Chain A
């Protein structure tokens, strides 16, 4: 179906005719109805009414012809011409009807104000004023012709003409107002249309400026964060350096005071041998403290410097993996102090790598940063463990570190601090000694399958609670592996003293090596709770004091199936 296009909105000549597609469709339907009604009314009047009133039928038929012409013009998209033809045609029919027959008494004349308003709204105020002027002229002519044609007197005819003219004038004024109002709306739309492009361009410019501003702000934020990170790093480095440098200054100041006192005593000839000895002793201690502190500061500076160099270098070199990663993790120390999670570096000393420390440190840096931003963000704890285990090399667990004597006959272990048994008692070197002594020399009734493997152990000393020394009678190439055997559980020396058979009846782990054990507040459940003799069930609860990290589960149960048959 043909869809008429609306006239161009910026054409001033068509301003009054833009109704939009729906208004135009309504106008077409309305006019068709009017056309049908006029034809029907005309035919009815022509055939049914008396002969004297047949002129009314011709009026209706004339209007029908006008409406038909109007529809034809609308179909040709000549909207202004259509409306003009319709309105002026109706006006002409009405005036002709009044001239030919009843004169000013013709009731159709009262439609003139409506025609005027339509003309003003749809054709403009000029057309409305023109129609009003011609209407008044027609009324005057009708009044002048009245004596010859009308039954009423001349005076009443002039009164009727003046009344009609007044109504028409009023209608024309209203029509003019409507026309002006519509014109203004149209011009506003026109103005909007003509300025739209400029406004879009202006708004786009504003948006681009806002975007640039946003980018600048983002860059500034990134820069600020970098500066903040740098500031944190500098603050951290300063903090790390503050302690050794502060210690050095205190020691140097004390040494200075002592020297001044010594000089004063020497000048006053009051210096005694004991004072001199005391000065030498204290002076040695202070000078050692200065030396130690400055050396520590020097190491810190060197490690930070090495991290900075490696971070910008891709050179291949031989480096100690533990030292490189230790320096890197140390550089993150200030950041980690504000975090709930921690980094555990499990890289054996002396593990030399011939590789690219720069990219390696970059990878580990990204790992740590991603852990902070994604893995541990919003969490109340966590552990990032970087391990370089190489089976079968021994990895310390209860042992924090160890040294071997040059003759390979003495192994000195330092235990992890603050390790506890499940019952809350501290695990010390005495417990380690008692447990290994039990394997070396089992009490009556206990069979030690690993006794032979420990035959080279001549003695176990415990210089302090955190140190245990294994002394071998002969060099043993597998000494460390033997001492690291997983069967060498550490038992409580105190409990074994009271009941040597307790390991056979009671499970008691420690916070060093057992994640699934009861915490220090009490231990009750890691015993075989026999639900049936054939299938005992073991229940273990989490040990919250576990050294490594919070245990991933609270409790576990293991059911032992002693016999399985299909």
Chain B
């Protein structure tokens, strides 16, 4: 389901040649993992600290390296790149954490941490063991702005227990959705009081207003602008540290046909009833 990395595909195709077909990879899938920042913890309660953590991540610089070890490696905002609501790369570069000058961003991050009185911040990062590379990456990036991270890579049951208890500063989450609509994609940030899936544990009335505004807007053009405002607002508030969008590539036997090449979501076309097998080679 996750897909394969470039080196994995290269190894398979080198070994099996034209007996395998590589599917997908032309567009991002509606799956964006991130580290949610627990707004109920003292260290990261301050908006300036959260924005500093977000600014410290060199997404563009590390994307190429991540492509070698994980299918999640495409840089994008909070809505799926290539979808109706996504913004261009130039527009994206204006948002916190997505700029092209990482040194300037880190300088700003250090300034914000100092201004918030947290120049030597220490954080507990709870991660799922299967996604350890992301924890290592973020811990290293934060180290470069003076933040010490205790990276705890745990098995799924322990992570689930920590999600419920709230015993974390940063925690890995992997919301995957079935459509591009921001009312679905961004419903994650609905108030924690009614939405226990919100691992940032935040209840932001301003978010609710902006979310409702785009949800009630039936004019597509006006709604697009409101969605853009909402996305920018969320990145300013930095309730989460977005990582990379999934680019799903799969190697399948070349006798297998009918599998969709670029399913835009992991939830669609799952019945697989259109699959068919070519007769075996002689």
With A452-B190, A552-B273 known as contacts, the answer to whether A486 contacts B218 (CB < 8 A) is no
User: What residues on B are CB-neighbors of A515 within 8 Å?
Assistant: 271-273
User: What residues on B are CB-neighbors of A485 within 8 Å?
Assistant: 178, 184
Within 8 A of B (CB), among A363-412: 385, 391-392, 408
Q: Is the CB of B184 within 8 A of A452?
A: no
Minimum Cβ distance to chain A for residue B70 (Å): 17
- Give the nearest-CB partner of A478 in chain B: B183
Residues of A at the B interface (CB closer than 8 Å) are 385, 391-392, 408, 447, 449, 451-453, 474-478, 481-482, 484-486, 513-515, 548-549, 551-552, 562-563
9 A-B pairs closest in CB distance: A478-B183, A392-B179, A478-B181, A481-B179, A481-B181, A391-B264, A486-B267, A392-B180, A452-B190
How far apart are the CA atoms of A452 and B211 in the complex, in Å? 12
Residue B223 at the A interface, CB < 8 A?
A: yes
- Give the nearest-CB partner of B177 in chain A: A485
Contact count A vs B, C-beta below 8 Å: 74
- Give the nearest-CB partner of B275 in chain A: A552
Q: Is the CB of A513 within 8 A of B271?
A: yes
Q: Looking at the complex, which one of B178, B217, B272 makes contact with A477 (CB distance below 8 Å)?
A: B217
Comparing B86-94, B192-200, B229-237, the segment that makes contact with chain A is: B192-200
Within 8 A of A (CB), among B239-282: 264-265, 267-268, 270-276
Q: Is the CB of B218 within 8 A of A481?
A: no
**Number of B interface residues in the complex (CB < 8 A):** 33
Q: Is the CB of A452 within 8 A of B187?
A: yes
Residue B216 at the A interface, CB < 8 A?
A: yes
Interface majority SS (helix, strand, loop, mixed), chain A? loop
Minimum Cβ distance to chain A for residue B247 (Å): 16
Q: Is the CB of B273 within 8 A of A452?
A: no
Minimum Cβ distance to chain B for residue A213 (Å): 39
User: What residues on B are CB-neighbors of A392 within 8 Å?
Assistant: 83, 179-181, 264-265
Residue B22 at the A interface, CB < 8 A?
A: no
Minimum Cβ distance to chain B for residue A393 (Å): 9
How far apart are the CA atoms of A474 and B271 in the complex, in Å? 34
Q: Looking at the complex, which one of B155, B195, B268, B275 makes contact with A391 (CB distance below 8 Å)?
A: B268
Q: Is the CB of A452 within 8 A of B223?
A: no
| Sample of 12 further A-B pairs with CB below 8 A, known A449-B196, A478-B182, A486-B270 | A391-B180, A392-B264, A392-B265, A408-B218, A449-B197, A451-B194, A477-B214, A477-B215, A481-B181, A481-B183, A552-B273, A552-B276
Q: Is the CB of B183 within 8 A of A477?
A: yes
User: What residues on B are CB-neighbors of A452 within 8 Å?
Assistant: 187, 190, 194-195
How far apart are the CA atoms of A449 and B178 in the complex, in Å? 15
How far apart are the CA atoms of A297 and B187 in the complex, in Å? 50
How far apart are the CA atoms of A477 and B216 in the complex, in Å? 6
How far apart are the CA atoms of A549 and B272 in the complex, in Å? 12
How far apart are the CA atoms of A486 and B176 in the complex, in Å? 12
Minimum Cβ distance to chain A for residue B15 (Å): 21
With A385-B274, A391-B268, A475-B218 known as contacts, the answer to whether A486 contacts B187 (CB < 8 A) is no
Q: Is the CB of A477 within 8 A of B218?
A: yes
How far apart are the CA atoms of A449 and B164 in the complex, in Å? 13
B203-236 contact mask (Cβ, 8 Å, vs A): 1 or 0: 0000000000011111000010000000000000
B157-185 contact mask (Cβ, 8 Å, vs A): 1 or 0: 00000000000000000000011111110
How far apart are the CA atoms of A347 and B197 in the complex, in Å? 36
User: What residues on B are CB-neighbors of A451 within 8 Å?
Assistant: 194
20 A-B pairs within 8 Å (CB atoms) are namely A391-B265, A391-B268, A449-B195, A449-B196, A453-B187, A474-B216, A476-B216, A477-B214, A477-B216, A477-B218, A481-B181, A481-B184, A482-B183, A486-B178, A486-B268, A486-B270, A513-B271, A515-B271, A548-B273, A552-B276
User: What residues on A are CB-neighbors of B183 within 8 Å?
Assistant: 453, 476-478, 481-482
Q: Is the CB of B215 within 8 A of A476?
A: yes
- Give the nearest-CB partner of A447 in chain B: B196
User: What residues on B are CB-neighbors of A551 within 8 Å?
Assistant: 273
- Give the nearest-CB partner of B191 in chain A: A452
User: What residues on B are CB-neighbors of A475 within 8 Å?
Assistant: 216, 218
How far apart are the CA atoms of A392 and B179 in the complex, in Å? 5
How far apart are the CA atoms of A514 and B196 in the complex, in Å? 29
User: What residues on B are CB-neighbors of A484 within 8 Å?
Assistant: 178-179
How far apart are the CA atoms of A408 and B216 in the complex, in Å? 10
User: What residues on A are CB-neighbors of B215 within 8 Å?
Assistant: 476-478
User: What residues on B are CB-neighbors of A481 within 8 Å?
Assistant: 179, 181, 183-184
User: What residues on B are CB-neighbors of A385 within 8 Å?
Assistant: 274
Minimum Cβ distance to chain A for residue B78 (Å): 15
User: What residues on A are CB-neighbors of B180 within 8 Å?
Assistant: 391-392
How far apart are the CA atoms of A447 and B196 in the complex, in Å? 9
How far apart are the CA atoms of A477 and B226 in the complex, in Å? 12
Minimum Cβ distance to chain A for residue B183 (Å): 4
How far apart are the CA atoms of A483 and B276 in the complex, in Å? 31
How far apart are the CA atoms of A548 and B275 in the complex, in Å? 13
Minimum Cβ distance to chain B for residue A109 (Å): 81
- Give the nearest-CB partner of A393 in chain B: B179
How far apart are the CA atoms of A484 and B180 in the complex, in Å? 13
User: What residues on A are CB-neighbors of B270 within 8 Å?
Assistant: 486
User: What residues on B are CB-neighbors of A474 within 8 Å?
Assistant: 216
User: What residues on A are CB-neighbors of B274 within 8 Å?
Assistant: 385
- Give the nearest-CB partner of A449 in chain B: B197
How far apart are the CA atoms of A337 and B36 in the complex, in Å? 58
Minimum Cβ distance to chain B for residue A237 (Å): 32
User: What residues on A are CB-neighbors of B156 within 8 Å?
Assistant: 562
Q: Is the CB of B223 within 8 A of A477?
A: yes
Q: Is the CB of A482 within 8 A of B184?
A: yes
How far apart are the CA atoms of A478 and B218 in the complex, in Å? 9
How far apart are the CA atoms of A452 and B191 in the complex, in Å? 9
How far apart are the CA atoms of A561 and B70 in the complex, in Å? 21
How far apart are the CA atoms of A392 and B268 in the complex, in Å? 10
- Give the nearest-CB partner of B223 in chain A: A477
How far apart are the CA atoms of A562 and B156 in the complex, in Å? 9
Q: Is the CB of A478 within 8 A of B216?
A: no
How far apart are the CA atoms of A25 and B223 in the complex, in Å? 107
User: What residues on B are CB-neighbors of A513 within 8 Å?
Assistant: 271
How far apart are the CA atoms of A94 and B180 in the complex, in Å? 123
Minimum Cβ distance to chain B for residue A410 (Å): 14
Minimum Cβ distance to chain A for residue B261 (Å): 13
User: What residues on A are CB-neighbors of B214 within 8 Å?
Assistant: 477
With A477-B214, A477-B216 known as contacts, the answer to whether A453 contacts B273 (CB < 8 A) is no
